[in-house]
Each structure stands twice: as C-alpha cells, then as structure tokens.
Amino acid sequence: MSPRSKELSEEMRTHSRAALVAAARQCFAARGYFNARIADVAQKAGMSQGSIYWYFASKEELLKTVLTEALESLGAVMSEAAAAPGNARHKLEHLSSGLLQYAQEGSQFTAIMISLMGHTNEDMFARLGFNMDVIGQGYTESLLSILTQAQAEGVISVEHDPLALTMMFFGLFNGLNLVYGQEWLSLPPETLKAGMLRLLGVQS
C-alpha cells in the first residue's frame, strides 16, 4: 500500500468512526441506551451492522466513547474558564457562556444520562471505567480556583464558602438539565448568565 493510499485509508477510518459515534449519540438519546439497537446505529450512520464491529467491540464500547466525549467537553469548559487570562469576573463570564453553549450542544448527553439512570441500579459509569468522583473533583477544582480569585479581588464576599457555592452551582446546572431538558435554554441568555452569577454571589 502506497503512503498516499495508507493515509487515505486512515482518514476514511477516522471519518467512519466519527460517523458511528455521532449516530450512536443520536440513537441513544432518542430511544434510550437500553432500547437502542446496534442495527439502529448502523442504519443512522448509513453502514452495515457488521461494519460497526470493525471499530467498536460492543454497544457498551460505543456508549463509553459517547460519554467520554461529553465528559471531556464539560471538563474543557471548566478548565478553560479557570485558565482564561484576566480577572475573576472575566473568568466567570467565560464560564457562564461556555456552560450555556455546552448545555445547548449537549442535550443528547442529558437524554442519555436520564435513560441510564431510569433503567438500572448498576453503576454503569464504574463498569465502563469512569471514576466519577475523580472527574467531579476536577470540575470542582476548576470552579474553586475561580471563586478563590474572585474573593481575593472583591468580586465575591469572603463570607461565602467557595465549596458551598460550587456545590449549589453544579446542583442548579444539573437540576435544570435533568428536570427541564432543553426548555430552560429558551430563556434569554443574559437572564441565564445573570442568574448563574448571582448564585455564585457575584457582586454587581
């Protein structure tokens, strides 16, 4: 195989794998993970059912890939906001904008999460190799670093416990997604951002 054809084959493989992941994400969200079939994913991706197993050993491996992308995307929003240049107020604005965009683009992830929680008592995340305590701690540390800076700069009162604010913030964000799905995102973005900042104790 020539270098060019090898490169083309790899590109086609990458494209096909991405198409399967996108199809799986849509099927798992629309039908629920346990109700969706590999045949549904193949049809959505425009491939044969057998071709899926060239890329993924099982339906669970497909799920793991979908969840990995979603969790890493949220982690990136948090870490990028914490590492953003400028003062804490700017970082909090960056965070609220990033989370709103993530919520808009990640509605399928929310639907998949609901389908997993509604059909099994088993810790699917642990079975798939995710340590949710570690992942959650990473999110928490990113927000805590911003809030600590915000207190030092007088953006947030030192009377507020940064960890308590962090817990309430994630509780609100997760609750809105789980209870209202995409409906809460129909509110004006500036209203949503203002609400997030007020919850974090940002002083105007």
Instruction: Indicate the pTM of the whole model.
Output: 0.85
Domain co-membership, 110 together with 83:
yes
Q: How far apart are CA 42 and CA 24, in angstroms?
A: 8
Domain co-membership, 130 together with 116:
yes
Q: How far apart are CA 78 and CA 33, in angstroms?
A: 27
Domain co-membership, 33 together with 47:
yes
Q: Flag the least confident range among 39-43, 53-57, 79-83, 116-120.
A: 116-120
The residue among 77, 199, 100, 101 whose CA lies nearest residue 150 is: 199
| Domains contained in the chain, number | 2
Helices in 32-127 by DSSP H: which ranges? 38-45, 49-52, 59-83, 88-105, 107-119, 124-127
Domain co-membership, 166 together with 129:
yes
Would you state the pLDDT for residue 119?
64
Would you state the pLDDT for residue 121?
53
Is residue 2's pLDDT more than 80? no
Domain co-membership, 50 together with 68:
no
The predicted-structure confidence for 106-142, as pLDDT tens digits, reads as follows 778 888 888 887 665 567 888 889 998 999 999 999 9
Domain co-membership, 120 together with 179:
yes
Would you state the pLDDT for residue 107?
79
Domain co-membership, 10 together with 94:
no
CA atoms within 13 A on the CB side of 74: 22
What confidence category does residue 46 fall into, taking pLDDT thresholds of 50, 70 and 90? very high
Average pLDDT, the chain: 88
Is residue 1's pLDDT more than 70? no
Q: Flag the least confident range among 1-15, 23-37, 96-110.
A: 1-15
Is residue 6's pLDDT more than 70? no
- Residue 26 sits in a domain whose CATH number is 1.10.10.60
The predicted-structure confidence for 7-29, as pLDDT tens digits, reads as follows 766 777 888 899 999 999 999 99
Is residue 146's pLDDT more than 70? yes
Is residue 80's pLDDT more than 90? yes
Domain co-membership, 127 together with 160:
yes
